[in-house]
A and B are shown apart, each in its own frame.
Chain A
Amino acid sequence: MISYIVRRLLWMIPTLFFVALITFILMHAAPGGPWDRDLSARQVDPRTQELLNKEFGLDKPLFINTEGGNPLDSQFFNYIGGALRGNLGPSYRQRGMNVEDILFKPPEGKPIWNSKFGYSLRLGLLALGLAVLFGIPLGTIGALRRNTVIDYFSLLISTIGISVPSFVLAIFLIVLLAGRLKLIKIVQQDWSSPGAWIVPGVILGFGTFAFITRLTRSQMLEVMQQDYVRTARAKGLSEKVVVARHMLRNALIPVVTIIGPALAGLVTGSFIIEQMFSFPGSGREFVQSISRRDYSMIMGTTLLYAVLVALANLTVDITYGFLDPRIKVGK
């Protein structure tokens, strides 16, 4: 088991290398650069740009240095070298800040989870928690009470969740809850109270909740038809035991497998919600860095998300082995 985990972790190295390479190629294929300004604004003059390029090493070749000297003295390999030492490079747009500081450094005197990435991670966990907490029971009840009002209600809610984009839902809820009912603030500035988190958490997790509901329901419907459920009933077990011990154990295996990737998706995909609620998370940094061509920031956030997805998948694979005895992990 331990050797399996170690091997999987080692496999992350080539994975991350190629994620970095592909991101780097795509990023430089896009026109423009970090010093470009809005055409209406005052431009950075060419002389200064040259100096800046020299300062940040952007005058070097992209991949292979063919102009003599060390062939690996290029932008890409210098970045990789820095990243290996834990230095994700300076942000080109936020003066005097390193990428890792922007993502992981909490404000003065605050704990680590008040960093930007910490905020996003917490919001993602909250969204996932809500999705699981409500999705699994609703899907289960929908399947058990098939074709009743409860089932139609669960279908309605989950169809809305899958088809309505989160930003539409966000605007709707902001207008309703903040504009009309004055239950929450339109621009939330204090994120220390748990109440402030609920609305963005609900909106972020809604799609996942809908997906989990649908998946649980369809899995339950399939499991309910299985012969071993009939066997369980033939033993005289009560319906509660049949559902909990014999049905759910089997039906939830696929649900658990999607939880890992779902968390990664929620943490990395929260930028729209963060934008709408002016939430101080890392998602906004990610999206803004792309439009600003803040190269080091793009690389840093992409790699961070890649690590997150890889770890989530690894966790799921390991959990799978515990849930389904037919699957052997670690061979």
Chain B
Amino acid sequence: MGALLEVKDLRTQFFTQDGVVNAVNGISYTLDEGETLGIVGESGCGKSVGVMSLIRLIPMPPGKVVGGEVWFEGRDLLKLDDDEIRQVRGNRIAMIFQDPMTSLNPVLTVGRQISEALELHLGLDKQQARRRSQELLELVGIPGAEGRLDNYPHQFSGGMRQRVMIAMGLSCNPQVLIADEPTTALDVTIQAQIVDLVKRLREELGMAIIWITHDLGVVAGLAHRMIVMYAGFIVEEATVKELYSNPRHPYTLGLLGSLPRLDEDRPERLRSIEGLPPDLIDLPVGCPFYARCTWRIERCLQENPPLAFVAHQHKAACWVDVTGVTA
């Protein structure tokens, strides 16, 4: 399997009144065909901005992709003109968003919202687009799909709206589906349903998925490979199994340690990572995690460790070898 999407040294900044916010600071990764890549990290670590930069969806101004390359189907997406990138959006690379309550237009029927992409990218006429929209609603498991086409978003529950979003994202058979915290706004049982739905659709349609979340539990059963982000940097990258069983970055250790566990004999208090992430306007020279790290050494203050192989298919950005420490 070759790389479907290759991101090289992507940098995104926001130019605000308080200064330049370094949201994404040179991240590189690849996504293979049919692969599901999980991106985890806490709020504000650049997960969403990082993927929105791929299809240039960040608001400009104040945001700007200041460097890097995004190779997809033989082209650098960052160098396409506006018309060309629009033909990629929603067509080859689709995106679904966090909050299905606010991500659908309240004054248009869901049928209209699904079919507009079909008419645009696949050149279907109104009739065909409507029929295809109905098929899509059936595909994502919305009962009574035909009658639901003429409903408005407020007539759907949260989980059903997220299904509509997914139907919309899949409408043009994209190669890549970017899911930006699609289950965060939903309650737990609905989360499980949505994850199962995405798994089934992945089997049936074979698209690659980038799944952004801050919930390590949700993504564990879904992703093949994981990226951990911190302060706009990738700090660790590994297969799911490797990452959970053998974490090599102190931040990943902290994240895993903060998960509640039901299988322990004596439940303890949840462990949190002390401190706050660094100010993205004024990034430290050394490792961004230095201030919160329990393994820190002198070198961390002077040099930011690069992402380097620590094992087979496993990269981490840390000067210290934290192997063998149990989370």
Contacts and interface: CB of A to CB of B under 8 A. Distances in A.
Q: Do A and B bind each other?
A: yes
Interface of A: 226-228, 230-239, 241, 245-246, 249-250, 253, 323-326
B102 A236 contact: no
B107 A324 contact: yes
Interface string B105-144: 1111100000011001100000000000000000000000
B107 A234 contact: no
Contacts of B121: 236
B154 interface: yes
- Chain A at the B interface: mostly helix, strand, loop or mixed? helix
**Of listed B97, B106, B109, B120, residue having the most chain A CB within 10 A:** B106
B213 interface: no
B89 A227 contact: no
6 nearest A-B residue pairs (beta carbon): A235-B90, A236-B89, A236-B90, A227-B102, A228-B105, A325-B152
Interface string B33-60: 0000000000000000000000101000
B105 A234 contact: no
A237 B120 contact: yes
Interface string B150-167: 001010000000000100
17 contacts: A227-B97, A227-B99, A227-B102, A231-B103, A231-B104, A231-B165, A233-B89, A234-B97, A236-B87, A236-B90, A237-B90, A237-B116, A238-B86, A249-B108, A250-B106, A325-B107, A326-B152
Interface residues of B, number: 29
Interface string B267-300: 0000000000000000000000000000000000
Nearest to A253: B107
A230 B57 contact: yes
A245 B88 CA distance: 21
Given A231-B105, A233-B89, A236-B117, 8 more contacts: A227-B99, A228-B104, A234-B97, A235-B117, A236-B87, A236-B120, A250-B105, A325-B106
A233 B93 CA distance: 12
Contacts of B104: 228, 231
Contacts of B105: 228, 231-232, 246, 249-250
Given A323-B107, A325-B152, A234 B55 contact: yes
Nearest to A326: B154
B168 interface: yes
A325 B106 CA distance: 8
B94 interface: yes
Contacts of A323: 107
Nearest to A229: B105
Contacts of B97: 227, 230-231, 234
Contacts of A241: 116
B95 interface: yes
B30 to A, nearest CB: 22
Contacts of A324: 106-107
A323 B107 CA distance: 7
Nearest to B114: A235
**Of listed A231, A233, A239, A323, residue having the most chain B CB within 10 A:** A231
B183 interface: no
A324 B107 CA distance: 6
Given A228-B106, A326-B152, A235 B55 contact: no
B22 interface: no
Contact of A250 (B88, B91, B107): B107
A231 B120 CA distance: 15
A236 B106 contact: no
Contacts of A250: 105-107
A184 to B, nearest CB: 43
Contacts of A226: 102
A253 B107 CA distance: 10
A228 B120 contact: no
B210 to A, nearest CB: 13
Given A227-B97, A230-B57, A326-B152, A237 B107 contact: no
Nearest to A223: B105
A189 B168 CA distance: 62
A326 B106 CA distance: 8
A222 to B, nearest CB: 12
A143 to B, nearest CB: 14
Interface in B64-95: 82, 86-91, 94-95
